[in-house]
Amino acid sequence: MIYPLYRVVSSLLPFVATLNLWRRSLREPDYRIRIKERFGFAPPSIRPGSIWVHAVSAGEVIAAEMVVNQLLQSSSTQRVLITTTTPAGSAEVSRRFGNRVDHCYMPYDAQRCIRRFINLTRPRALILIETELWPNLLNITRQEGIDVCLLNARLSARSARRYQLVPSLTKRMLNSITMIVSQYEDTAERFRKLGFPKAGMHVTGNIKFDLSISEETQRSADIGREKWRGERPCWLAASTHPGEEEVVLEAHLKARETHPDLLLVLVPRHPHRTHDVEVLASTRSLTTARYSDAFQSVDVLVVDQMGVLLEMCGVADVAFIGGSLEGTGGHNPVEPAVFGVPLLMGPDRMNFEEVCARFVDSGCLTTVHNEDELASELLGLLNDPDLRKRQGDAARLVVDENRGAAESQFRIVSNWLHAAS
C-alpha cells in the first residue's frame, strides 16, 4: 500500500517543489532558470544512449569526477549525461567537464516527469552518486530495463532506521538496484539488513580520498597566500551554515586577543549568504572583504564564489569544517587534509562518519562544541608550530593511505556496464 500512496502523493510534488523553487530563487536567482528540465523536458541536445550519472550538488559532482573522466577516456564514443538538483551542482558540472558531457537538471520524482525524461534520453544505465533513492525513479528504470548502480554509497545508522519504518517501499527500491558500491563495510551491512543481496554489494572505500591538488590549484593557493595573508596567521572556516558563523566569529575575536593580525577565511556553504555573514562580522567590528573584490587588508575574508574552497584550504594554517555544529551532518574534511592542514570539527559528522573516524584515530581532527572550545583549540595549534605540523602531516598521511577507491570503483563499474550491454 505504501508505494501506491507515494505514487499518488508524488503527483503533487511538481507543484509543491515549484513553489519551493520560487522561494529559493528569491535568494538564489539561478533556481528560476531551466525549470522545464525539472518536469522532465530534457534539452534536445542530449543524445540518447548515454550513461546517466546523477549527482545532487557540487560535492557529489566532485566525488564523481574521476570515475566520469575514466568513463569518457575508456571509449571515444562513450556518452555521459550528468544530472544535478542544485544550481551549484550544475555550475560544477560546467566547470569540471565543459562540453565533454551532456547536462541538465534531474526531473521531479513524479511518474510523468520521470517517464518523459527517460523517453527523451533513453539512458543506457543509471549511476546514482552516494545515496539518492527515489521510489518512482527506481520503479520506472526497472520497468524500462535500465540497470541502476548506487556508487560511493553511504548510509548512516539514522537513515537506515528511517528506511526500516517503510520496509515494503525500501525493499521495492532496493530490488530495483542492480549493484551497490559502498564506501565502507558499515554501510554495506546496513543495506544488507534492509534486504539488498550480498552478491550485488562491493566495498571500495571513499572516492573523496582520491582528491589531488592540480598545478593550477596549487598556484592559486600560493597566490592567495601572498595576496590575502602574507606573513599573518590564518585559519579557515569551511562550508559554514546559519548559526555556525556566530560561533566562528566569536572564536575569531577571542583568538585575536593573542594574535591581533589573525586572518579568518570564512566560506559559507551557500554563497548567496555572503551579505548575512558580512553583517554578522560588522556587528562585531570586524572588517570584511569578498573574495571576488580587489585586495584589501581585512579581519575576515568572505568567500562568495563556488569552486574555490580547495585553493583556500591551501592558504590556511588551521581549518574548521562546518555543518558540524547545527545538525547538518558535517562536510568533507579531506580538502584541507590534502594540503596538510590540521582539522577542527563539531560533533555532528553523520555524513562523513567513517572518513572523520580515520582522522580522529590519527590525532589530527579535534572535536569542538562551542566558541570557547573552538578558540582554545585554534590557539593551541597557532601557538605550537610543531604540533600544527605533526597534525598536518598526519592528516595528509590519512589521505594518502586511503587513496585508490576511484580506480576500484571504475573497474567495478566498467565490468557492470559490460555485463549490462
For residue 240, give the H/E element and its range.
strand 234-240
How far are the Cα atoms of 227, 252, 283 from residue 277, in angstroms, in the given order? 22, 14, 10
In the chain the first and final C-alpha atoms are separated, in Å, by 34
SS3 of 145-186: CCEEEEEEECCCHHHHHHHHCCHHHHHHHHHCCCEEEECCHH
Sheet holding 318-321, edge to edge: 288-290, 300-302, 263-268, 234-240, 318-321, 343-345, 365-367
- Is 185 known to be catalytic? no
Grid cell for residue 372: 570557547
Q: Which of 60, 244, 311, 371 is catalytic?
A: 60
Contact between residue 362 and residue 398 where contact means Cβ atoms under 8 Å apart: yes
Could you tell me which residues come within 8 angstroms of residue 177 by beta carbon, excluding any fewer than 6 positions away?
Answer: 138, 148, 149, 150, 196, 200
How far are the Cα atoms of 62, 184, 200, 336 from residue 311, in angstroms, in the given order? 14, 28, 38, 9
- Residues designated catalytic: 60
